[in-house]
């Protein structure tokens, strides 16, 4: 039973999921800080109110319908989405693009075929990475076989 639990915990997907949850919490605090300390004060400077929850209220016999609170939630969602896009998604896309172009350069240097260098490589970065990993596997296997002899 303990062996099964150890195998469950050591699976990559469980560890990856745990890392994702922890990183998600860390990114949430960063995004909230950007919205609370940068974007909301800018809105307050422009419109005079960073929070509209007390505005646009309708009162009926003690019940309060707050369209301002709904509007405030929608605006906060949009601000968080903007912050996530510009501060996380765009830089990560640039990073991935730089990594895939570097991988293409490495793969092009390794090919001896001049025609392959002349025409554009249509493989995706994932396909190129799989091919490179396969080559590494083959080299490691050859190295292991030579050590056994």
- Average pLDDT score over the chain: 76
Q: Which residues sit opposite 65 in a β-bridge?
A: 58
DSSP 1: -
pLDDT of residue 149: 67
pTM above 0.75, yes or no: no
Residue 149 CA to residue 134 CA, distance in Å, equals 23
* Torsion sign across C-alpha atoms 6, 7, 12, 13: negative
Average of per-residue pLDDT across 126-138: 85
SS3 of residue 126 by DSSP: helix
The conformational region for residue 78 under phi > 0 = left, psi -120 to 50 = alpha, else beta, is: alpha
Look at residue 138 and tell me whether its pLDDT is greater than 80. Answer: yes
pLDDT of residue 15: 67
Query: Which residue ranges form the domains of the chain, and what is each CATH number?
Result: 2-110 (1.10.1200.120)
pLDDT of residue 56: 74
pLDDT of residue 9: 66
Average of per-residue pLDDT across 72-90: 79
pLDDT of residue 18: 75
Which tops the pLDDT comparison, 64 or 149?
64
Residue from 76, 80, 78 nearest 27 by CA:
80
What CA dihedral angle connects 84, 90, 94 and 100, to 10 degrees? 80
| Most confident region among 26-35, 88-97, 112-121 by mean pLDDT | 88-97
Look at residue 113 and tell me whether its pLDDT is greater than 60. Answer: no
């Amino acid at each position: 039973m303990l062996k099964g639990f150890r195998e469950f915990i050591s699976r990559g997907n469980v560890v990856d999921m745990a890392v994702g949850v922890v990183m998600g919490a860390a990114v949430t605090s960063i995004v909230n800080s950007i919205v609370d300390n940068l974007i909301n004060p800018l809105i307050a400077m422009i419109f005079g109110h960073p929070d509209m929850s007390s505005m646009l209220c309708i009162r009926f016999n003690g019940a309060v319908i707050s369209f301002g609170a709904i509007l405030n939630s929608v605006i906060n969602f949009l601000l968080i989405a903007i912050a996530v896009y510009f501060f996380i998604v765009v830089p990560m896309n640039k990073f991935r693009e730089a990594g895939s172009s570097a991988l293409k350069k490495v793969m092009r240097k390794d090919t001896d075929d001049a025609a392959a260098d002349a025409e554009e490589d249509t493989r995706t970065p994932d396909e190129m990475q799989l091919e490179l990993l396969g080559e590494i596997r083959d080299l490691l296997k050859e190295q292991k076989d030579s050590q056994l002899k």
